[in-house]
Amino acid sequence: MNNIRSMLPVYFIAGTQDCRHLTGSPAENLLNILQRALKAGITCFQFREKGTNSLAQDPPLKRRLARQCQQLCRQFNVPFIINDDIELALSIQADGIHVGQKDTPVESILARAAYKPIIGLSINTLEQAVANKDRPDIDYFGIGPIFATQSKADHAPIVGLECIRQVRRLSVTKPCVAIGGINEMNASDVRDSGADGVAVISAISQSADIARTVRALALQR
């Protein structure tokens, strides 16, 4: 995956905890939503099992589901990223790994990897953006939360669109995907502020019409 920017326009993130409004098993629900999102044209998928309602407590099941999601993404030629779980990501050769500021440091991920995974880092302040902007081992930033979100209980302070603008004003040219409370209505503002793409959980996982939502998120460029 040479062109990181091209994978950021509609970056879908989900785990079984985000699909509990459906009636099937947790794994079926996620695969069902992911398949519809892939058919609709998402440009990247991040597998993120987090919290008490997730499979974080059941590693074998989590691993099996990760592989199923990876296979689905492969069929659609869409990068498959794993949130935080370095062991799992490296053992199944996920295309990439996304980490937060408090997760495993990027150097130690790469020291353990037998291949070069795409690396995404969450950014919540201008200082973090500037400190990491010239690091060649980080492929993209996830900036947020931009708006209020229901999908992450322990989220960092909301930064608003202004944070994306300021990051760009500080000459941060690294590919950036914005996250947190982004939907069909505000995605164009997010892009106009300087983000290369939008990362969403609920806008897609809870959409009554995933095809329409993905098209709308994609068109707002």
Looking at the annotation, which residues are catalytic? 48, 122, 152
Q: How many residues bind ligand TZP (CB under 6 A)?
A: 14
Tokens found for residue 216: 């709308």
Binds ligand TZP (CB under 6 A): choice among 26, 117, 120, 181: 181
Query: Any idea what the Cα angle at residue 192 is, between residues 14 and 208, rounded to 5°?
Result: 35
**Residue 118 found at the interface with ligand TZP (CB under 6 A):** no
Q: Give least dist CB 13 to Mg ion, A.
A: 12
Residue 181 contact, options Mg ion, ligand TZP, none, Cβ 5-8 Å cut-off depending on partner type: ligand TZP
Q: Is 83 annotated as a binding residue?
A: yes
Tokens of 6: 């091209």
* Binding status of residue 51 toward Mg ion by CB under 5 A: no
* Nearer Cβ to ligand TZP (117/181): 181
- In whole angstroms, what is the distance from residue 180 CA to residue 58 CA? 27
* Residues in contact with 67: Cβ distance below 8 Å, sequence separation at least 6, in sequence order: 92
Whichever of 5 and 152 has its CB closer to ligand TZP, that residue is: 152
Q: Which long-range contacts (CB under 8 A, 24 or more apart) does 70-75 make?
A: 70/94, 72/31, 72/34, 72/35, 72/38, 73/34, 73/38, 73/45, 75/38
Least distance (Å) from ligand TZP to the CB of residue 144? 5
In the complex with Mg ion, the residue whose CB is nearer, 13 or 163, is 13
